[in-house]
Amino acid sequence: MRRFCGLELSEADVAAKAEAWLRDEGFDVYREVAPCDGYARADLVGLRGGTTHVVECKTRLSLDVIEQAHGWVGRSEQVSVCVVSRANASDRLPAVVLRTLGVGLLELNPMGGLDYARVRVRIQPRWHRVRRDERHVRAALRPEHKIMGEAGTRNGGYVTPFRLWMRDVAKYVADHRGATVREIVDALPHGYATAKSARECTWSAVERGLCPGVEFDGNGGLRPTPSRDGGAAKGNNEGGSRE
């Protein structure tokens, strides 16, 4: 949290204004997106007409955020940083670096209060050629990125392959009123290297309470967790099998 013009602004405040700017520009906006190859998480990704614009948000312009943004060059057609503008700050060198790298600069002017603050483009991002493979940030976009998580925070709630898998497992178990781990893994697409790994990780996740709405049925299978009104007993895995 930093103070500008009498206002305390956080990265989440900057990200919220950058998200509004992207929407005004006609982009669909996705929050906290991490590519499938495990690369860093982007604060915001705008998608418009099949092309992407990654925006990294910070309260201050620094070489650190420029380096962070530059990592997306080659993974997104456009890349920018969004920071709070500071009238008395000397940012000539960072601006030169941004132009050299082809990274755009968006500035949030907090004068007049956060409700009236707007983002303006100070440096236009260049168009970058990207490879159309799993490294492209677009390959990682999911509908859940539009509604889950809050850009610019470290509060969790992000969309991850694991969370999506747990959601799919819980839905399958609910739809079929119970199933074995093997049945689930055989029926659903997953991102694990092998079916065995998927079964072991799924079993472990349920065992640790990481799959909401699912519990062991005591016979080696999984079942929906009964509602509290139904007097549910705690699930257990006694005598069960990871298959």
pLDDT in tens, 203-239: 999 998 989 999 999 888 999 998 665 544 344 444 4
Asked if residue 141 and residue 170 are part of one domain, the reply reads: no
Residue ranges in 84-236 assigned as alpha helix (H)? 92-101, 161-176, 181-187, 195-207
pLDDT of residue 79: 97
Helix axes 63-70, 92-101, angle to 10 degrees: 10
pLDDT of residue 152: 56
Residue 57 CB neighbours (<10 A) = 28
More confident residue, 28 or 8: 28
Asked if residue 140 and residue 24 are part of one domain, the reply reads: yes
pLDDT of residue 85: 85
Find where tokens 């997306």 sit: 72
Q: Is the pLDDT of residue 37 over 60?
A: no
> For 106-129, how does the pLDDT look when each residue is reduced to its tens digit (9 = 90+)?
999 887 677 778 899 999 999 999
What's the mean per-residue pLDDT of the chain? 83
Question: pTM, whole model, 2 decimals?
Answer: 0.65
State the pLDDT confidence band at 100, using cuts at 50, 70 and 90: very high
pLDDT of residue 176: 93
Asked if residue 104 and residue 142 are part of one domain, the reply reads: yes
- Report the alpha-carbon angle 185-187-188, nearest 5: 70
| Contact indicator for 218, 235 with CB cutoff of 8 Å | yes
Asked if residue 179 and residue 128 are part of one domain, the reply reads: no
Q: What is the dihedral of CA 216, 222, 228, 233, to 10 degrees?
A: -30
Q: Into how many domains does the chain fold? A: 2
Q: For residue 206, what are the contacts with CB-CB under 8 A and spacing of at least 6?
A: 169, 214, 215, 216, 222, 235
Could you tell me what percent of the chain has a pLDDT over 90? Answer: 48
Residue type at 50?
G
The answer to whether residue 156 sits within a structural domain is no
pLDDT of residue 48: 93
The answer to whether residue 154 sits within a structural domain is no
> For 51-73, how does the pLDDT look when each residue is reduced to its tens digit (9 = 90+)?
999 999 999 999 999 999 999 99
> For 160-185, how does the pLDDT look when each residue is reduced to its tens digit (9 = 90+)?
777 788 888 999 999 999 999 999 99
- β-pairing, 28-33 vs 42-48, is antiparallel
Asked if residue 137 and residue 165 are part of one domain, the reply reads: no
Tally of helices (H runs) and strands (E runs) in the chain: 6, 10
Alpha-carbon distances, residue 51 vs 15, 30, 80, 217, 220 (angstroms): 20, 13, 14, 47, 47
The answer to whether residue 130 sits within a structural domain is yes
Domain coverage including residue 167:
161-230
Asked if residue 79 and residue 17 are part of one domain, the reply reads: yes
| Contact indicator for 57, 80 with CB cutoff of 8 Å | no
DSSP H/E element including 149: none
The answer to whether residue 243 sits within a structural domain is no
